[in-house]
Amino acid sequence: MNIRLISAILLTNFFLLACQGESDKSDASGTVSGENQDSQPKNKVPVEAPEKLPNDSDIVPSWLDSQWVPPVSLKKFGFFVPTKPLTHGKQVYDYQVNLPLWSDGLEKVRWVFVPNDETVAFKSESPWSFPRGSVLMKHFVDPGTNRFLESRLYVHRNQGWQALVYIWNEHQTDAALISEAKTIELADGKTWLVPGPEDCARCHRSENPVLGITSKQMISFDGIPNEFMDELSARQQLTGYKNSENLQGFPALDHQSASLEDKARAMLHVNCSSCHDGSFSFDLSWQVASDSLIGAPPQFGSLGVEEPALIKAGSVDSSMIWLRMNLTDGRRMPAFGTSRPDSAGLAVLKDWIESLRVSDDTPPEDDDTPPEDDSTDGSEDCGGTDIFGACLERIISDSSS
């Protein structure tokens, strides 16, 4: 073969191998062949690893220590990481209620922390009993923005239950402990009054301050336990419940088969009975028959209405309960925890009152207390708009004098 031809072939192969080597080197460095290298990031920013939930077995209730000081940061409890939606550990249960307490239209996310190897005692008629170390949590959400506003905690310590209130930051990454009531502006331009820890005791008044976790709220109107009960039972953390028990929970306001009376009485129990439980004034508890309300004279004023009654059969305009729940001044009921009327609840109450026959409107024989004149504008009645303070205190004071 011609020596020149062989030399040309060898030289060509040498150049081909050299080019292939440069191509391999470029690919190994992460640059695609033929791509403009100027388009590649010169300094890659490392991606921060997502925050991890703590190991649930490590969540030891440090609040059982008598020297425990509540953390300023809600996140320090270790129950959640600030994702959207919030993610919590397996020791924290979600729960729903059949009929929520009216809170000016705010939505709520409800959690319960139960320590490992501890159990919750089911009660058919009274609030359930939670072991020491448990924490009940309720997060309030603005439906206009889907942002968390505040979180209320009831912490079960050795010396009893302690209320804590936290307000969420702008970035929704954490919430800070507060010591007194604060006002928050909502997306609709109105305001929401966040209670201080001491204000919580106005409703959660008993030694067992649990209000929402009862059989009436956890078992449906059709007698079916909710997912919270199922999960507690599956983890063997619920005692005292028997499937054979014939229990019926509160109906939702839009329940199709429940009677108007059942829905109205459930609404009154949920929103009013924490105060009106028979310890003073009248009793709006579910266990008390509605007959005790129909035709009964009011004990704390008539709002200038002639022939008023707590519930006046056929007439909402003479029914003090309905009228006071429609007010927005210092005379309104509930006296605190809300400042706007509950239109859905009041619609059910109105329909029930108007369905009552006038023959049902018979005052109890043992109660001939004359109604008081209460025709004032309300500003001196209950301290104006101080929904946490003046009204109930005045009523209690009047009832004891």
What's the rounded Cα separation, in Å, for the pair 332 and 326? Answer: 7
- Residue bearing the bigger pLDDT, 18 or 144: 144
Cα distance from N-terminal residue to C-terminal residue, the chain: 128
169 and 308 fall within a common domain = no
Residue 19 domain-assigned (yes or no):
no
64 and 156 fall within a common domain = yes
100 and 216 fall within a common domain = yes
- Residue bearing the bigger pLDDT, 391 or 202: 202
Q: Which residues contact 113 (CB under 8 A, 6 or more apart)?
A: 59, 79, 91, 92, 93, 134, 135, 137
User: Is the confidence at residue 167, as pLDDT, over 90?
Assistant: yes
Question: 244 pLDDT band (50/70/90 cuts)?
Answer: low
Rounded (to 5) percent helix, strand, coil in the chain = 25, 15, 55
Of 209, 239, 269, the position where a domain reaches its end is 239
User: Is the confidence at residue 367, as pLDDT, over 50?
Assistant: no
Residue 329 domain-assigned (yes or no):
yes
Q: Are 156 and 130 in contact (CB under 8 A)?
A: yes
Q: Which residues contact 215 (CB under 8 A, 6 or more apart)?
A: 122, 123, 124, 125, 247, 249
318 and 379 fall within a common domain = yes
Q: What is the pLDDT of residue 27?
A: 40
User: Is the confidence at residue 364, as pLDDT, over 60?
Assistant: no
Q: What is the pLDDT of residue 150?
A: 97
Q: Are 310 and 298 in contact (CB under 8 A)?
A: yes
122 and 156 fall within a common domain = yes
> Could you read off the pLDDT of 27-78 as tens digits, one per residue?
433 333 333 333 333 333 333 344 555 555 678 899 999 999 999 999 999 9
Nearest to 129 by CA among 244, 65, 60, 213: 213
Q: What is the pLDDT of residue 279?
A: 62
How many beta carbons lie within 10 A of that of residue 134, not counting itself? Answer: 21
Residue 365 domain-assigned (yes or no):
yes
197 and 287 fall within a common domain = no
Q: How many domains does the chain have?
A: 2
Question: 274 pLDDT band (50/70/90 cuts)?
Answer: confident
Residue 343 domain-assigned (yes or no):
yes
Nearest to 203 by CA among 72, 295, 335, 91: 335
Sheet holding 92-94, edge to edge: 92-94, 107-113, 135-142, 147-157, 160-168, 175-177
Q: What is the pLDDT of residue 13?
A: 54
Q: What is the pLDDT of residue 56?
A: 57
Residue 13 domain-assigned (yes or no):
no
Encoded tokens for 96: 């729903």
Of 239, 269, 286, the position where a domain reaches its end is 239
User: Is the confidence at residue 154, as pLDDT, over 70?
Assistant: yes
Q: What is the pLDDT of residue 82?
A: 78
79 and 228 fall within a common domain = yes
Q: What is the pLDDT of residue 280?
A: 57
User: Is the confidence at residue 363, as pLDDT, over 70?
Assistant: no
79 and 203 fall within a common domain = yes
Q: How far is CA 362 from CA 281, 291, 295, 355, in A?
A: 19, 9, 5, 15
Question: 382 pLDDT band (50/70/90 cuts)?
Answer: very low
323 and 382 fall within a common domain = yes
Residue 39 domain-assigned (yes or no):
no
E-strand ranges in 143-263 read 147-157, 160-168, 175-177, 182-185, 191-194, 238-239
78 and 222 fall within a common domain = yes
Question: 132 pLDDT band (50/70/90 cuts)?
Answer: very high
Residue 24 domain-assigned (yes or no):
no
212 and 304 fall within a common domain = no
Residue 16 domain-assigned (yes or no):
no
278 and 204 fall within a common domain = no
Q: How far is CA 334 from CA 84, 163, 289, 371, in A?
A: 33, 21, 21, 20
Residues 78-98 have a mean pLDDT of: 88
Q: What is the pLDDT of residue 44?
A: 38
What's the rounded Cα separation, in Å, for the pair 216 and 214? Answer: 5
What's the domain range around 214? 56-239
Of 186, 209, 239, the position where a domain reaches its end is 239
Question: 318 pLDDT band (50/70/90 cuts)?
Answer: very high
* CA dihedral for 375, 376, 377, 380, sign (positive or negative): negative
Residues 7-15 have a mean pLDDT of: 50
What's the rounded Cα separation, in Å, for the pair 87 and 81? Answer: 6
- Residue bearing the bigger pLDDT, 84 or 126: 126
User: Is the confidence at residue 163, as pLDDT, over 70?
Assistant: yes
Residues 298-309 have a mean pLDDT of: 84
Q: What pairs with residue 319 in β-bridges?
A: 309
> Could you read off the pLDDT of 176-212 as tens digits, one per residue?
999 999 999 999 999 999 999 888 877 777 666 788 9
Backbone φ and ψ for 53, nearest 5 degrees, come out as -70, 145
